[in-house]
Amino acid sequence: MMALAAPAARADVVVPDRSLSQWNGEDGYRLWLRHEPLEGAALEQLRAFNPIPGTPASPESETLGIAESELREGLAKLTGGSIDADRPRGVIRFDCGRRERGGDGRFRVTSGARAIRISGPDHLSCLYGAHALLRELSRGVDPATISLDETPAMSLRLLNHWDNPDGHVERGYAGRSIFDWWRLPERLDRRMIDYARANASLGINGVVVNNVNASPLFLTPHYLPKLKRLADAWRPYGIRLYISARFSAPRDVGGLPTADPLDPAVKAWWNAKADEIYAAIPDFGGFLVKANSEGQPGPQDYGRTHADGANMLAAALGKRGTVIWRAFVYKAEDETDRVKQAYQEFVPLDGKFAGNVIVQVKNGPLDFQPREPFHPLFGAMPRTRLMLEAQVTREYLGQASGIVYLAPMWSEVLGTHTGRGGTVAQVIVPGGIAGVANTGSDRNWTGGHFDQANWYAFGRLAWNPALSPERIAREWAAQTFSREPEFLDAIVPTMLASAGTVEKYIAPFGLAHLMGTGHHYGPAPWVCDLARPEWNPCYYHRADKAGIGFDRTAGGSDALAQYAPSVAARWADPAQMDDRLLLWFHHLPWQHPMRSGNTLWHDLVARYGQGEAEAGARSALWARLADHVDYRRHAEVAADLATQEKEARWWRDASIAYWQSLNGLALPAGVRRPDHPLDWYKAKTFPEAPGQ
C-alpha cells in the first residue's frame, strides 16, 4: 500500500540554516497572552499614564490576587518595564463586589485623566476586566480613552475535551491529553494553570475534562481526588469542572444489574454519586451525556426516552448543577436520512426536560462538516434550553494543517435567523455554547499555530456573538504575532477566507462526509461498503452517471420540511438558492445549468481548482511575511501551509478522478488532469493518523 508522498521542495518555503537560539525562542506556548512591548505612539501614551495597579497588598480573594498579578505583569511587559517611578502615577483601581464569584461575569472599565476603574458584581468581574483592559492596551488604545461595559451573552461558555484516561485524545491533532491523570492528584502540572489563565482571558467558564464516549472510571472514587485537585486549581479563574458521564455507570461500576433510569435503585445510585461528588467539589458543574448514539448506552436501551434519562440525572444534581444532554443521535436501521433523526427524536420531547437540563445541539444536522445548514432543532424547541455545540478541533477540515479560521463559520450560524424564534444566538441564550477543544500536549497547545485562533475566537464569540470575525482575527493576530499594520492587513483577510478555501476543495456545493473511514483524513468518496449505510460517503453524495447530490426536498427525504417555511423556501429552488448548499439539498444532473452559465460539472471542477490555487497562494503570502514573524514560528507555519497545499491538490485530483469514473465526462478545456489514476488514490492508507 502506498503512503502519501511528501511535498516537493519549494523555493518560497526553504528553511535556511539558523542558530539554535532562533529555535529556542518563540514556540507558541504563550498564546495570545504575550503582551509584547508597545512601540511608537501607543507606548508613549501608556508611559504618559504611568500606570500602577492600586489593589491592596493582601487581596480579599485568590481571584482578586490573580487579577492584580495579571495586570501588573501585563503592564510591565507592555511598557518594557519603563514606568518612571519619579513621575505622577496613573492608578488602576479594582472596585468589585465582596463575593469571589456568583455573578454573570459582567464588568466595567472606565478611565479618566489619571485613573482607570475596573468594577463589577464580584471578584471574577475584576479578573475579566483586567484581561479586557490588557487586550485594549495591547491593541494600542490610549488608556485615557478606554471605556468598556460588557456582559456575556451566554451564561455557560464551555470547552468539551474528548480526552481519554490513557492520554489519547479522540479527534485530537496536538499531541496527547493535557490532563495527567496518572500523576494527579499529587502533582498538578503547571500547564493546568496556564490553561486556566488562557480560558479566563476569554471568559470561558466551564470545562468538560473527558470524552463524550465516556469511561465510567471518572465516576469511581479513584478519580474523585484527581478531579477535586483540578477543580480547586481552576476555581479562582472562574472555571467550573464538568465530566462526561457514561449512562450505564450504575451497571458498569456500581454493581447494579441495570441502568434503567426509572429503576429506584438506579436513581438512588446516581443520587449518592452526585452527593459524593459535591462533597468534594462544591461547585461541580454537572454531567455531559452522549446517549444512544454511535453505540453508546442510553435510556432507549430500556424503552425510555431521552427526557427520562436526562431528568433522572437532573434530579440527582438538583439545583447544584446541570445535565447537558447531546442531541447527536442516529440509528443504523433508519434508512431515510441521518440528518433528520435528531429532530424526529427530540422535538416531540419539547417541554418535557427538567429546568436544569440543556440539550446540546451541533451547529449543523450532520457532523461538523465544512458546509452544513444550521441545525433545524434551533427554533423548533421553544420550551427547552438548547446549547450550540461547535467543533474547535478540525476533524473534517484538514485536521491541523495550514490555516483554517473558523470564526466566519460560527458567526454565520449564530447570526442565522431560524424563522421560529430569532437567530440561533438568540435561541441559545438560556442554554449556552460549547466547543470541542483542540488543545493537546504540543508545546504550542493546538498543533498548528493558527489553530490557536480558533480557541481564541470560540471564547470571544461565546462572550459576544456580535463580534465580527475580522475584529477577532485582528485582535488575535496582533497579540500572537505582530501589531505591524502591513502584517495585519495581509494576514487577516487570509484568515477570513481560509475556511472557504478548504470548503472548496473538500466540500464544494455542500457535498458532505467524503472523508476517509475512521481517521476522517483525506478524500474517500468511493467508500460504499461499510456495515452501516450512513457511515459511507456514497450515502451522502449519491453520485452516479446521471447526477450527484442528496435530494432533501419533498421529492426526496423531505429533510427540508424540518425547517421553518420561510427558511425552507430559500433552499427549495436550486436555481435561486445559495450554491454553497446546492448538493446538500438537491440531487442534480451533471449538466444542470448554473447561474454562471456553465454546467454543474464545469463549476464543480472549477471550484476544486479554486481551492487548490488559494491554498498555494497562502503559502506564497506567508513566505513574504517572514520579516514580521519570529523565525521558528514562521518556519513551522510555512511547513504546515506546504502540507495544506499538498492536501488541496490531493483532494482536488482524487475527487475529480472519482467523479469522472462515474459520469464519464471529459474535463473542461484547459483543466489539468489528476496527477494519478483513481486506483492510486484508493490505495492510500494512514495507520499513523492521529485522533482516531
**Half-sphere exposure of residue 558, counting CA atoms within 13 Å on the CB side?**
4
CB 382 within 8 A of CB 422: no
Residue pair 552/337 in contact (Cβ under 8 Å)? The answer is yes
Respond yes or no on whether the N-terminal peptide bond of residue 185 is cis (omega within 30° of 0): yes
- The C-alpha cell that represents 393 in the structure block: 478541533
Task: Say whether 395 is catalytic.
Answer: yes
CB proximity list for 190: less than 8 A, separation 6 or greater: none
What DSSP letter does each residue of 74-93 carry, written as one string?
A: HHHHHTTT---TTSPPEEEE
Give the Å distances, CA to CA, from 109 to 26, 117, 341: 31, 6, 47
Please, which residues have CB within 8 angstroms of residue 221's CB and are 6 or more apart in sequence? Answer: 276
Contact criterion met (CB below 8 Å) for 372 and 571: no
In this structure, are strands 51-53 and 107-111 parallel, antiparallel, or unpaired? unpaired
Amino acid type, 217: L
Interior angle at CA 199, CA 194 and CA 201, nearest 5: 95
Say how many residues make up the chain: 692
> Cα(172)–Cα(378) distance, rounded to whole angstroms?
28
The C-alpha atoms of residue 310 and residue 313 are separated, in whole angstroms, by 5
Angle CA 459–465–471, to nearest 5: 75
Question: Residues 548, 659: contact at Cβ < 8 Å?
Answer: yes
For β-strands 51-53 and 90-99, DSSP reports them as parallel
Cell output for 318: 438538583
Half-sphere exposure of 541 (CA within 13 A, CB side): 29
Evaluate whether 370 touches 503 at the Cβ level (below 8 Å).
yes
Strand partners of residue 33: none
List 367, 389, 534, 645, catalytic entry = 367
The Cα 511–Cα 501 span in angstroms is: 14
Q: How deeply is 266 buried, as exposed, middle or buried, from its count of CB atoms within 10 A (0-12, 13-18, 19+)?
A: buried
| 312 grid coordinates | 433522572
333: left (phi over 0), alpha (psi -120 to 50) or beta: alpha
User: The C-alpha cell of 270 is what?
Assistant: 446516581
Residue position matching grid coordinates 460560527: 410
Nearest CA among 354, 358, 355, 361 for reference residue 377: 361
Query: Which residue among the candidates 149, 276, 294, 334 is catalytic per the annotation?
Result: 294
Residue 367 bears catalytic tag = yes
Burial 215-254 (b: 16+ CB within 10 A, else e): bbbbbeeebbebbbbbbebbbbbbbbbbbbbbbbbbbbbb
Can you tell me whether residue 66 is helix, strand or coil? helix
Write down the catalytic residue from 68, 345, 395, 636. Answer: 395
Cα(first)–Cα(last) distance of the chain, in Å?
20
Backbone angles phi, psi at 600, to 5 degrees: -55, -45
Cell matching residue 590: 451533471
C-alpha cell at 51: 500606570
**What's the rounded Cα separation, in Å, for the pair 386 and 379?**
9
**Long-range pairs for 375-378 at CB < 8 Å and ≥24 separation?**
375/327, 375/342, 376/343, 376/559, 376/562, 376/563, 377/327, 377/342, 377/343, 377/346, 377/347, 378/418, 378/424, 378/427, 378/428
* Residue 543 CB partners (closer than 8 Å, separation 6+): 525, 549, 659, 662, 663
Which residues are catalytic, by number? Answer: 294, 367, 395
